Amino acid sequence: MESPVSPKSPQTSETVPATASGTAPDAAPPCCPSRRTALAAAGAVGAVFVTGCSGDGGSGDGDSGALLARTSEIPVGGGKIIKDRKIVVTQPVAGDFKAFSAICTHQGCTVNRIANGLIECPCHGSRFRITDGVVTAGPAPRPLPAEAIKVSGGNIVRA
């Protein structure tokens, strides 16, 4: 006699992307509790909440005109991470400035390094091009969203 099959699998419906090392990325990014931690906390108090760490990037905080950096601070072929505004400003070629969200599209960590033409995320190794924010490595599913900037008189400001 066959035993009934439970409609619920012992595994959760949570999708956990594999990492290059083969370990589950359960470690929470610095800005957010892990999903499991958040769900456990919600269950403990009988409430459901959303952490606000969507991992979608984009600061969009409406600070048009805010000074981000001086053009002289942005190396050609590199960039600068403005952590307090969660923006990366790059200069792929002389005089051509770009800006992207500094929030990784994987699990919401803030990128922390720019080297060899790439913006790097410390959490799971994603890499993004300084030219267009496109993913070149790692688990990040989408490019870093572009941020609107203006360059005026040696200042780079939010558009």
Q: Residue count at the site for ligand FES (CB under 6 A)?
A: 14
Supply the minimum distance, in Å, between the C-beta of residue 23 and ligand FES.
12
Contacts 24+ apart (CB under 8 A), 28-33: 28/107, 29/53, 29/104, 29/107, 29/108, 29/109, 29/110, 29/123, 30/109, 30/110, 30/123, 31/108, 31/109, 31/110, 32/107, 32/108
Nearer to ligand FES, 73 or 143 (CB): 143
Q: Closest separation between CB of residue 121 and ligand FES, Å?
A: 3
- Decide: is 104 part of the binding site for ligand FES (CB under 6 A): yes
82 sits near ligand FES (criterion: CB under 6 A): no
Is residue 118 involved in binding ligand FES (CB under 6 A)? no
Identify the three-state secondary structure at position 14. coil
Out of 121, 135, 144, 149, the only residue in the binding site for ligand FES (CB under 6 A) is 121
Residue 157: C-alpha distances to residues 20, 91, 97 (Å) = 37, 14, 11
Which range binds ligand FES by CB under 6 A, 2-10, 42-50, 134-142, 148-156? 134-142
| Positions that interact with ligand FES (CB under 6 A) | 29, 104, 106-109, 121, 123-126, 138-140
